[in-house]
Amino acid sequence: MALITLRQLLDHAAEYSYGVPAFNINNMEQGLAIMEAAKAVDAPVIIQASRGARSYANDIMLAKMIEALAAIYPDIPLCMHQDHGNNEATCMTAIRHGFTSVMMDGSLEGDAKTPASYEYNVEISERVARMAHWVGASVEGELGVLGSLETGEGEAEDGHGAVGKLDHSMLLTDPDQAVDFVKKTQVDALAIACGTSHGAYKFSRKPDGEILAMSVIEAIHKKLPNTHLVMHGSSSVPQDLQDIINEFGGAMPQTFGVPVEEIVRGIKMGVRKVNIDTDCRMAMTGQFRRIAEQNKAEFDPRKFLKPAMDAMRDLCKARLEAFGTAGHASKIKVIPMDDMAKRYASGSLAPKTN
C-alpha cells in the first residue's frame, strides 16, 4: 500500500527538480492505464477525481478503486487528490473516502461559476487547510481565475468554471497577492492562472507569450521559491489525437493546447503539479471511434476499451518521461498520513514565504 500525500510527493519533486502530472479519472480503465504507465517507467503518480467524477463513479466505488490500485501496484507511490473542491464538505468527504489530498478552489464561489472575492478565497482555503492538516492530508489552493487571454472569457466548457467576460487582471495571478495568499492560508501547493483553461479549445493558434503567460509563473516563483506551483488546463491537445478523432468520423475544429516544452519550461520555474484530463479523454475516444469505424460488427466493450486503455497508457507514459517523473517511484519512502499530521502540528511543514 503506497498512498502518498501531495505534500510529500511535491516536496520530493522540488528536491529533485521534476514535475508530476495529475491525471483525472472517472473509471477503472483510466485508473489502470495510469498505473500501468507509472509502473513501466517507475514513476510516482497523482490521480485526481473531480466532483463530476465522484458523482459519475460513486464515492464508494472510487474509494475501493484507489485501495485496489494501491494494492495491485504496491511499489508506486499514489496520491489521490480531489480536483476543484468547491467547499468544505466536498474536501472533507473526499478525505473520508481515502483521498490523501484536496484542492479547495476558492477562486470561484461555491457554485463553481462566480468569481470569488480575495477575502472569500483566503478564508475558505485557510479553513480547509487547517482541517485537512489535522489529519495529515494536503491542500492545493487557487489564486486567479482560469480563462482565455485571447477572448477574455471564463471557461464554462466542462460545465464548471467562470461564466462570461473576465477582467484581464483576474486571468493572471498577481505575484504579490500570491505571497500573501500562501502566508495566510498555509496551502501546500498553489494553482495559478496564466492563460490556460480546461478542455480542448484553449488557443486558436500555437500559443506565444501573449496568450500563455509563462512570465507570470516565473514572477511568482521568484517571490515564492519554496511554494509548489500547479498548472491547470495543461493538456497539450496533440495534433495526432485530433487527427485520429477526425479521421474516424469526429468533427473537432482545429485547436491548440499547452505545448509540452512550455510545461517543461514551467517545471524549471517551480511548477510541480501539471493537470491533464483532456489529452487522456482524447486518447481513449480516438480508439473508440477507430474500432467502431474499422469493425462495424464489433459489440464487445472490451474490444473498444483495451485499445483505449493502451492509448491512454502511452500518453501518460510520455508525460511522465517528459516531466522527469520517471525513475523516482523507487526512491520515495512513503510517510503515513498520521505522521504528516504530526509534522503539520509541530509547525515543521509551514510554508516558507520569505
Q: Which residues are catalytic?
A: 83
Which among 228, 229, 248 is positioned nearest to 240, based on CA atoms? 248
Between 285 and 291, name the residue whose CB sits nearer to ligand 13P: 285
- Say how many residues touch ligand 13P, by CB under 6 A: 13
Between 82 and 186, name the residue whose CB sits nearer to ligand G3H: 82
Among 29, 126, 188, 277, binds ligand G3H (CB under 6 A): 277
Which set of grid coordinates corresponds to residue 51?
466532483
CB of 24: closest distance to ligand 13P in angstroms? 6
Q: Does 186 bind ligand 13P (CB under 6 A)?
A: no
Alpha carbon distances (Å) from 136 to 98, 260, 306, 343: 12, 32, 37, 8
Q: Does 97 bind ligand G3H (CB under 6 A)?
A: no
Among 2, 12, 23, 24, binds ligand G3H (CB under 6 A): 24
Q: Is 84 left (phi over 0), alpha (psi -120 to 50) or beta?
A: left
Decide which of ligand 13P, ligand G3H, Zn ion, none touches 221; Cβ closer than 5 to 8 Å per partner kind.
Answer: none
Among 133, 232, 290, 317, binds ligand 13P (CB under 6 A): 232
Q: Does 276 bind ligand 13P (CB under 6 A)?
A: yes
CA atoms lying within 13 Å on the CB side of residue 118: 12
d(CA 284, CA 278): 10
118 φ/ψ angles, rounded to the nearest 5 degrees = -60, -40
d(CA 57, CA 26): 6
Q: Does 82 bind ligand 13P (CB under 6 A)?
A: no
**Other CB atoms closer than 10 Å to residue 16's CB: what's the count?**
13
For ligand 13P, what does the binding mask look like between residues 9 and 38, x meaning CB under 6 A?
A: ---------------x--------------
Q: Which residues of 238-267 are buried (b: 16+ CB within 10 A; e: fewer)?
A: beebbebbeebeeeeeebbbbbbebbeebb
Q: Under the rule (CB under 6 A), what is the footprint of ligand 13P? A: 24, 83-84, 198-199, 232-235, 275-278
Q: Under the rule (CB under 6 A), what is the footprint of ligand G3H? A: 24, 50, 52-53, 83-84, 158, 160, 198, 277
